[in-house]
Every structure is written in structure tokens, then in C-alpha cells.
Structure 1
Amino acid sequence: MTITQLKYVLAVAENQNFTKAAQKTFVTQPTLSMQIQKLEEELDILIFDRSKKPIELTVVGQKIVRQARNIVNESERMQDVVDQEKGYIGGDFHIGIIPTVMPTLLPMFLRNFTNKYPKVHLKIEELTTEDIIKKLKDGHLDAAIAATPLEQENIKERPIYYEPFVGYVPKSHRLNENKKINSEDLDLDDLLLLEDGHCFRDGVINLCKSKNAIQNDKFQLQSGSFETLIKLSNEGLGMTLLPYLHTLDLTEVQKEKLRYFNEPSPAREVSLIYNNSELKMQIVNAMYDVIAGVIRGAIRFEDVKIVSPLK
């Protein structure tokens, strides 16, 4: 039994296809198949049911995969221990970022991080929270940036900052004359929201008094873009809520439509999250320090009320 064989097993389990798994592990399909067959013969069991399309794990194969993932993680930890002992911060680092954070936060810290740690090879992927959780648990992400708390087993959360919500209110809206707003002022009937699947949307709904499904007789909106919400709001179709960092790049005319909340301002917690195996912690810590340093100059709100996504 070798670590390489176990990595091949994990690749097939993930892709449910020998050819795709071979491509992902950069070997030929016959080589991968032969190595897995050798492992099955050594253990005297079948890991995969090859009669199924797509390929499925056998009952014992599911147990083998869980153990294989632990062994592969521990083998990688050995190099990680050496790197930390040497103070080396480098190598591949795969990070996922949720869509409502990536456009504003990534440009703020990426250049600083790459300049400070040129030996780290970042692979950055925009992912939903659901995909981030799955990829972290499967070992396909080293870390992620997401709205928390998630309260997921085997995932650690390290809050980086608290980002206030800000109202974007058109002139025709009932709250336009208010210099500041309260969460009690919000009404889902005239509030433009992101599409399902965005945790920011869930946080906004959680903030509102009503938890009923949104009913709109004129149109149904499915958008993942704050820019779309702003444009629709400008047309008088309702107000919307924006994360504070997203308001920094608005035009002066657009900023006149911003309405801040009375303290404590509702806010979301944004964290650096990672598997509790704590691999590559020297890179995780370096990224945390860079982001925290940058964000301190951008968000100065101290009195905030954290709004968690709906469970």
C-alpha cells in the first residue's frame, strides 16, 4: 500500500470516473487502474463497483476512502511540520471565497500578499458557501473566506472582520428622508435581494421582522449581482442592502442614496475558515495577518450587531 495508491482512490471516488481521475492526477488511465487494482488485491476487497455508471464506492470502499483521506492528510502534515520548523512560507495554496466578498476584498489584499509572500502559489476560486464546506471537508481547499458562523464539524472559523450592512435608498422610497435607518424599518415587500443561495441574502432576511417568502406581483428577480440591485433601485423598484465594503467604490451620486443604520449597526461576520487538520497553518496565519491589516483601515465601525445567515 502506498500514499500514491490512496491518492488515486480518492481521485476516483471524487470524479466517479477512472479517466477523469487519471487526468486530475496526471497519470495515464491504465496506470491509475492498475495501481487501484493492486491495492484491492492486497486488501482482498473491492473498493469500487465498476458495474455502475457512474462508478460507485462499495460499502467497504466508503470506509476505505474515509481512512485514505486521513492518511493522505497526515502524510502531507509531515512536510507541513518541516516547513513550519524552517519558517518556510511557500508552496501551493488553494483558497475559496464567497461571491459577495470576493469582488471587494480580493483586490484589497492580493497584491500585498503576493508581494510579501512570493513563494506562495495561490489558486483562488469563487465558490458558494455550500461548495466551500464540501471542498474543505474533502481536502480540495486549504482555506476559505466566508460569512460565519457556519458551525460545521471539523471546520475551524477565525473571524477577520465585521462588515456592516448599509441601505441603498432611491429618492422615491419611503425611507429616503431618513438620515439613518433601523432594522425595524425594513420591509421585504420593497427590498431587492440577491438570488437564493447567497448567505448575504439570508442574513438580510434574518434581519427583517418578516420571515415570510417574498411575494411580488410585478416581477421575480434572480440576480447574483449587487450592481443589478443598485440599477433596479435607481429605477425606483425598491431599496436594497449592501455590504459596507461594496459601498466604497460607488459614485458620489450613488453615495448620496446610502443610509447607515443606527447603532448597533447590523453586520456580518467574515472569517478565514479551514479544516481542523490545520495543514499549511503558516500560510493561513500569513493570510490572516495581511487581510486583517488591510481591513483595519477600511472598516472603522466598532458598535455592530452580528446578523447570522438563516439556519
Structure 2
Amino acid sequence: MTITQLQYVLAVAEHKNFTLAAEKCFVTQPTLSMQIQKIEDELNVLIFDRSKKPIQLTDIGQKIVNQAKNIVNEADRIKDIVEQQKGYIGGEFKLGIIPTVMPTLLPMFLNNFIKKYPKVKLIIEELNTDEIITRLKNGHLDAAIAATPLLEEKIKEVVLYYEPFVAYIPEGHASFGKTEIAVADLNVDEILLLQDGHCFRDGILNLCRTAGKSDANAFRIESGSFETLIKLADEGLGTTLLPYLHTLELKEKDRAKLRHFAEPKPAREVSLIFPKTELKIHIIDALRQTITGVVRGAIAFQNVEIISPLAKNKA
């Protein structure tokens, strides 16, 4: 058997379709089918049950796929070893970033990174946390930037920074006159949140649960963007919470409506996450160093309390 044959097996196992797997592997469907047939003949087993739609792994096929993932990863590691020995930092690198981090963090480090490492071809996608985890496990991402902890067994987390939550309080609100606020000042009936699926939303829900305000049904889920939430708050429809880096881009009239929390400030932990196989670790390290170098000057908060994006029973 060959590494290429194993890659074909993994593609079919993922897509559950020979034609789609062939497209993803950039070969014809007959070529892919023939190579998988060869490996099945060599092992004298059926890896796939072709009678089912979609195609399913047999019991022995599942075990073969689990081992094939290890073999393909180790083969890729050999390339990594050679590149690191040569001091070469380059090649394609797929990075996922969650939506509430990408607009503020990416402009801060991208230009510095591509100037310092011009041989790295960064392919960046905005993805939610669940999509990121799935793609990391399937080998379709090399690394990602997300709110942590995630407590995924096969994923390593390296903290980049801690980003405080900041309240946006419109004029006329009862808390507008305060210089800083406490979590107890939050009113669960009026907080405007991002749509379901955003981990920043989950962090706010958990923040209020820590204050004993656990009526999640009281939250109004209004929008997919912070800009819309701010406009809704200005219309008198409630208050909202923003990540600190996002507040740096607000106009002066809107910055006057920001209220920081009393210490320890509730904050989210933002990390660079990647498979524990640590493939392309030299690029991952270069990315980490670049990001921490630029963020260190933007976030100087020390006394913070990390609010997990996970529900209490999962943390």
C-alpha cells in the first residue's frame, strides 16, 4: 500500500462518496476507485460498504481509517523535519479565525507576518468554533484562532492574549453615569447579543450565570454583527457587551458610552489552537510570535477573570 492510497481512503471516509472524494483529491473517480480496490485486495478486506447510501465504513474499515490518519500524519511530519532542518518557513498554511476575532486581530498582524515570512501562503477562513474543531480534526486546517478553553482531547491550545469584555451603555440608561460597572449591574432582560453559534455570545451567557442570572431565555438574540448591536442599543433597545479590541475602532462619540468592569475584569481567553500532532509547528510558532508581538501593545490588562465559552457542565 502507498501513502497516496491511504489518502484516497481517508477522502472517501470523510465525504462518503467516491466521486466527491476524487474531486477533492484532484484525480478521476475511476483512478481513485481502482487504488482503493487495490488496497482492499492486498488486505483481503472490505474497507467500505458500497451497498449503503451514503457509503459507510465497515467495522474493520473504521480501524484502518484510524490507523491511516496516523500514518499520513507521520509522513507529513517527515516533510516538516526536513523543512525545519533547512530553516525553511514556507508553503501553504490554512488558518481559521472565529468571526468575533477576525475583523480586529487580522489587520493587526497580517501585514507584519507576510512581510516577515513571504514564502508562507496563508489561506484564511472565517469560521465558527464548531466548524474549526471539525476541520482541525479532519486535517483541513493547520491551526486556528478561537476563544478557549475548548477541552478537546486532540487539540492543543496556546494562549495569545486575554481580552476583557466592555459594556456599551447608551445615554439615558440607568448605568450611563457610572465610571465602571459590575457584573451585578447587568440586566438580563435588556442585553443585546449576537446570534446563536457565536462563542462570544456563549461567554456572555456564562458571565451572567456566574452572577446568578441564569435565565438564558431572557436574552434577545438580535444580530450577527457588533455594529448592529450598537445601533440597536443607541435606539434605546438595550445594552450590549463588546470585546475590548473592537472598542478601539469606535468613534469618539460611541467610545464615551463604554464602561469597563471593575477588577477582576471579565475577559475571554483567545488562543492559537492546532492538532497535537504539531504538524507545521515552525509556521505555528512564527504566527504565535507575530501575533503576541503586536497584541502586547494593545492589551495591557493583567487582573482579569476568564469567562469560558463552554457551558458550566462542560468546563
Task: State the TM-score, normalizing by the size of structure 2.
Answer: 0.95
Instruction: Indicate conservation of the 8 Å contact 1:17/1:54, yes or no.
Output: yes
**Within 1, Cα distance between the matches of 2:222 and 2:234?**
18
CA displacement 1:70-112 (0-9 Å, x = unmatched): 1000000001011111111001111111111111111111111
SS across alignment from 2:162: strand
CA displacement 1:210-232 (0-9 Å, x = unmatched): 1122237xxx5342211111111
Q: What is aligned with 1:192?
A: 192
SS across alignment from 2:121: strand
Q: Does 1:213 align with 2:216?
A: yes
Task: State the TM-score, normalizing by the size of structure 1.
Answer: 0.96
Q: Amino acid of the residue matched to residue 276 of structure 1? A: K
**What is the percent sequence identity of the aligned residues?**
66
**Within 1, Cα distance between the matches of 2:163 and 2:85?**
35
Q: What is aligned with 1:266?
A: 266
Q: Amino acid of the residue matched to residue 214 of structure 2? A: K
Pair 23,253 (structure 1): closer, same or farther in 2 beyond 3 Å: same
Number of residue equivalences: 308
Instruction: Indicate conservation of the 8 Å contact 1:188/1:214, yes or no.
Output: no
Q: What is aligned with 2:83?
A: 83
Matching of residues 1-311 of structure 1 within 5 Å: 1-208=1-208, 209=211, 210-215=213-218, 220-309=220-309, 310=311, 311=314
Q: Amino acid of the residue matched to residue 213 of structure 1? A: A
Superposition RMSD on alpha carbons, in Å? 1.1
**Within 2, Cα distance between the matches of 1:172 and 1:31?**
69
CA displacement 1:260-308 (0-9 Å, x = unmatched): 1111111110000111111111000000000000101111112211111
**Within 1, Cα distance between the matches of 2:171 and 2:29?**
62
**Within 1, Cα distance between the matches of 2:188 and 2:199?**
16
Which has the larger displacement, 220-229 or 123-132? 220-229
1:155, distance to aligned residue in structure 2 (A): 0.9
**Within 2, Cα distance between the matches of 1:51 and 1:188?**
53
Instruction: Indicate conservation of the 8 Å contact 2:164/2:265, yes or no.
Output: yes
CA displacement 1:114-133 (0-9 Å, x = unmatched): 11001001111111111111
**Within 2, Cα distance between the matches of 1:154 and 1:145?**
16
Instruction: Indicate conservation of the 8 Å contact 1:267/1:307, yes or no.
Output: yes
SS across alignment from 2:249: coil
**Within 2, Cα distance between the matches of 1:228 and 1:54?**
41
**Within 2, Cα distance between the matches of 1:67 and 1:38?**
18
**Within 2, Cα distance between the matches of 1:175 and 1:269?**
27
SS across alignment from 1:95: strand
Q: Amino acid of the residue matched to residue 157 of structure 1? A: E
SS across alignment from 1:136: helix
Pair 7,222 (structure 1): closer, same or farther in 2 beyond 3 Å: farther
> What are the ranges of 5 or more consecutive residues in structure 1 without an aligned counterpart?
none
**Within 2, Cα distance between the matches of 1:153 and 1:226?**
32
Q: Amino acid of the residue matched to residue 110 of structure 1? A: L
